[in-house]
């Protein structure tokens, strides 16, 4: 049996961070030729939106998730597994990283079933992650770069489903028993009334989404974070690009409160206090 290194981090790259000119260099510094195994999962929503517009349709979202028609599925494949994946891989290789691009469809890596097809169409909910191909790549010193387009496990809606990248990253972190899931964003972390929340528990995250304080893309991140924590990932961080190198940067989510970090409850009390 091939030796598979312990994965230290699964890093989800999305939004504007994915187009940041320093992204590949920052990842390369942390990767260190396989000495610190990690896996990247990326999004590419802007690329999908541009391709949809080129084909005469406009993007629509429900709860931070893209409504995906039967025509959109191939556009999502092209934009994510094609353009976005290969652009990121090329940038990493240029920085000396032995990066290999794959999608959730390859070797049945990520299996999903339709999630509310009446509202969302060809959008999937992750059901399984089969990490064997990742262990092979990691054991050989490669950095896997994953597009979240996934294999449809059901008999309806065709062979592929559009899966939210945050969900794919959370389940991949669980399958690999990663020590940390890092969700890179174009904001420094979870903000409450413009103030960074340094620490959240899973209950805090649920409350922020249930109360409508966290919305759309941030709500999707918090929901995925809770799944990762409940499944056994020790901690999740939502942070900006600088948080790849600085492990104390951003919002840290755990199952139990973290001492010495500003919590959501403290900030809610401060913000709701009458101002004179």
Return the active site residues: 12, 15, 45, 166, 221
Q: CB under 8 Å to 260, separation ≥6 — which residues?
A: none
As given in the structure block, the two tokens for residue 61 are: 């979202």
Q: CB under 8 Å to 109, separation ≥6 — which residues?
A: 102, 103, 129, 130, 131, 133, 134, 146, 150, 151
Distance, in Å, from the CA atom of 70 to the CA atom of 65, rounded to the nearest integer, reads: 16
Given a contact cutoff of 8 angstroms between Cβ atoms, the answer to whether 112 and 124 are in contact is yes
Instruction: Give ∠ CA 225-180-40 in degrees, rounded to 5.
Output: 90
Q: CB under 8 Å to 240, separation ≥6 — which residues?
A: 17, 184, 185, 186, 187, 188, 189, 249, 250
- Torsion (CA) 133, 239, 251, 245 in degrees, nearest 10: 80
Strands, E assignment, the chain: 9-13, 38-42, 61-62, 65-66, 99-104, 110-114, 124-129, 143-152, 160-161, 180-184, 191-192, 195-196, 199-201, 235-239, 251-254
């Amino acid at each position: 049996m091939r030796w598979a290194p312990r994965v230290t981090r699964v890093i989800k790259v999305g939004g504007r961070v994915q187009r940041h000119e320093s992204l590949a260099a920052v990842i390369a510094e942390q990767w260190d030729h396989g000495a610190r195994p990690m896996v990247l999962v990326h999004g590419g929503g802007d690329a999908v939106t541009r391709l949809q517009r080129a084909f005469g349709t406009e993007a629509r979202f429900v709860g931070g998730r893209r409504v995906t028609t039967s025509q959109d599925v191939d556009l999502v494949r092209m934009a994510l597994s094609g353009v976005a994946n290969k652009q990121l891989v090329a940038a990493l290789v240029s920085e000396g990283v032995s990066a290999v691009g794959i999608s959730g469809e390859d070797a049945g890596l990520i299996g999903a079933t339709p999630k509310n097809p009446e509202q969302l169409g060809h959008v999937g909910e992750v059901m399984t992650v089969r990490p064997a191909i990742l262990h092979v790549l990691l054991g050989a010193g490669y950095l896997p770069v994953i597009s979240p387009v996934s294999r449809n496990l059901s008999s309806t809606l065709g062979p592929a489903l559009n899966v939210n990248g945050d969900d794919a990253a959370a389940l991949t972190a669980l399958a690999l028993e990663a020590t940390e899931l890092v969700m890179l964003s174009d904001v420094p972390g979870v903000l409450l009334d413009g103030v960074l929340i340094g620490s959240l528990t899973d209950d805090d995250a649920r409350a922020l989404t249930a109360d409508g304080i966290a919305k759309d893309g941030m709500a999707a991140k918090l929901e995925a974070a809770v799944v990762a924590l409940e499944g056994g990932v020790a901690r999740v961080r939502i942070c900006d690009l600088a948080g790849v190198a600085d492990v104390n940067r951003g919002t840290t989510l755990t199952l139990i409160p973290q001492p010495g970090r500003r919590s959501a409850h403290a900030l809610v009390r401060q913000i709701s206090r009458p101002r004179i």
